[in-house]
Amino acid sequence: MVTRGTTTATAGTTRTAEERARRVAADVPDPELPMLTIDDLGILREVHVDGSGHVDVDITPTYSGCPALEAIRADVLTRLDEHGMPDATVHVVLSPPWTTDRISADGIEKLRRHGIAPPGPAGGAHGDGRAPVPLALTVRCPRCGSPDTRELARFGSTACKALWVCGDCAEPFDHLKAL
Amino acid sequence: MSGDTTSERSGWRSAAEPSVERVRSGARPGDVSGLVEYTLRLGDDALILSQRLGEWITRAPQLEEDVALANIALDLLGQARSLLTYAGEAEGAGRDEDALAYWRDERDFRNVLLVERPNGDFAETMARQLWFTSYQYELYDRLRASADPTLAAVAAKAVKEVAYHRDHAAQWVLRLGDGTDESRRRMQGGLAAVAPYVDELFDPDGVTGGLGAVAVDPAALREPSERHVDGVLDRAGLERPPEPAHVARGGRRGLHTEVMGYLLAEMQHLHRSHEGASW
């Protein structure tokens, strides 16, 4: 009985520590889209804390070569350290692959507010791997809301963005590509 | 849930966090040297093409193309990093991605000759892109089902990126083939220039054969890749060039063309002169 009681108490402590560690990690901003956190973007995966207090954080890259990943790793470790969790390891996991569908509803709204047209659904576009590049049929201008927009370049300022322009307000804007 | 966690944790981890335990525990058919060799081929193709595409930066016909080719090169570099890291772990001799990229000599590189070809003019680069992306898309699409969980994870991620690369190449081949007399002539010339290097992509050998369900049989990729290329050429009003008089191969065995040494000199000299340099 005593043993069981102890185990339950330890599990409870670990769970609390895990929730705390997750909250801290979830708050880390993305270096290239600083108005969004890595949790908004779906870059943060699992957070585990073991009995000794060691924190394991799993993150996943948006694109294979995304250079922000190293910065994110460092930021997560720094934040955890600042919050009294210096004993931590950040793991990069690839599977299942990141998709823009992992961006939270809150994240989508933040993108729009900051002048970046959010991605349409990627779901199924690559589901069977046979579909072509997902086409954004109705990208609305994030500034004036007009649907009269066109793609200028599919590869934009970062790996995840395309460059578009609005036909109504004539402003160019970034569009996060469905992936 | 626990199933999800397991599959996520079986993915690739970065060089800073070698997942040696997974390499040991993974029940993997075939011997390790075959897996290392195969993974080096995949990684070297991505690395060397990334280096070539990077040469276009500041020289592409439009600013947007500078950005596009740099982005494609970056995706390939990311794939190469995952693959070379994994090859080093599987080998178990302590070599990381940097050791494999910067400290191997020409004969140890396993990329096909096609990706080391000089860029030529923009049309020739697009001809190479059309063939290579068509091949790589079909390859990664099948490799997602590899018996090796790390290769499957890299492929599942990369196939989505390569779908964009393949579309980029197709759009340019259409535009150049269906453009002016000059652009059509250049595009047709580019296709002829890369033609001798296409066959090597689809060569099966003992390495791919010996790995069973870990690897994808390159010969099986020929038909779907050709179908895609032919479809684009058809729509562009271009002709498939006649069978080349000679076919060049040897990259998979480390027998490279003269240009490879120059490419490596440029890619490796900084790291060899200032080991571990970063910025």
Say whether B7 and A96 touch across the interface (CB within 8 A). yes
- Cβ under 8 Å to A: B residues 22-61: none
Low-confidence ranges of chain B (pLDDT < 70): 1-31, 279
For residue B164, list chain A residues with Cβ-Cβ distance below 8 A.
133, 154-155, 177
Say whether B67 and A155 touch across the interface (CB within 8 A). yes
Tell me, what's the pLDDT at A159? 86
Tell me, what's the pLDDT at B275? 87
B11 at A interface, C-beta within 8 A: yes
pLDDT per position as a tens digit, A56-66:
999 999 999 98
d(CA B12, CA B78): 12
Phi, psi of B184 (to 5 degrees): -65, -40
Residue A36 has pLDDT above 60, yes or no: yes
Say whether A93 and B11 touch across the interface (CB within 8 A). yes
Task: Identify which of A66, A89, A90 has the shortest CB distance to residue B78.
Answer: A66
Contact, A177 vs A162, CB < 8 A? yes
Domain boundaries, chain A: 2-92, 100-176
A84 at B interface, C-beta within 8 A: no
Show contacts of B245-248: CB within 8 Å, 24+ apart. B245/B196, B246/B196, B247/B196, B247/B199, B247/B200, B248/B113, B248/B196, B248/B197, B248/B200
Q: Which residue of A has its CA nearest to B76?
A: A65
Tell me, what's the pLDDT at B6? 35
pLDDT per position as a tens digit, A83-123:
999 999 999 999 999 999 999 999 999 999 999 999 988 86
Pick the residue with more confidence: A156 or A134?
A: A156
- Measured in angstroms, the CA of B244 and the nearest CA of chain A are apart by 30
Q: Which of B164, B166, B175, B235 to mutate to test the interface with A (most CBs of A within 10 A)?
A: B164
Which three-class secondary structure state does DSSP give residue A94? coil
Which of A44, A45, A49 is closest to B5 using CA atoms? A45
Domain B30-273: assigned CATH number: 1.20.1260.10
Say whether A153 and B64 touch across the interface (CB within 8 A). yes
B10 at A interface, C-beta within 8 A: yes
Say whether A67 and B74 touch across the interface (CB within 8 A). yes
Tell me, what's the pLDDT at A165? 95
Domain boundaries, chain B: 30-273
Tell me, what's the pLDDT at B9? 37
A67: Cβ contacts below 8 Å, ≥ 6 apart: B74
- Measured in angstroms, the CA of A18 and the nearest CA of chain B are apart by 15
The interface predicted TM-score (ipTM) is: 0.85
For residue A73, list chain B residues with Cβ-Cβ distance below 8 A.
14, 16
* pLDDT-based confidence at residue A2 (cuts at 50, 70, 90): very low
pLDDT per position as a tens digit, A154-178:
998 888 899 999 999 999 999 999 9
Instruction: Report the CATH architecture of A2-92.
Output: 2-Layer Sandwich (3.30)
Q: Which residue of B has its CA nearest to A62?
A: B157
Say whether A65 and B156 touch across the interface (CB within 8 A). no
The C-alpha angle B133, B134, B136, rounded to 5 degrees, equals 60
Which three-class secondary structure state does DSSP give residue A5? helix
Say whether A95 and B67 touch across the interface (CB within 8 A). no
Contact, A135 vs A178, CB < 8 A? no
A&B contacts, CB < 8 Å: 114
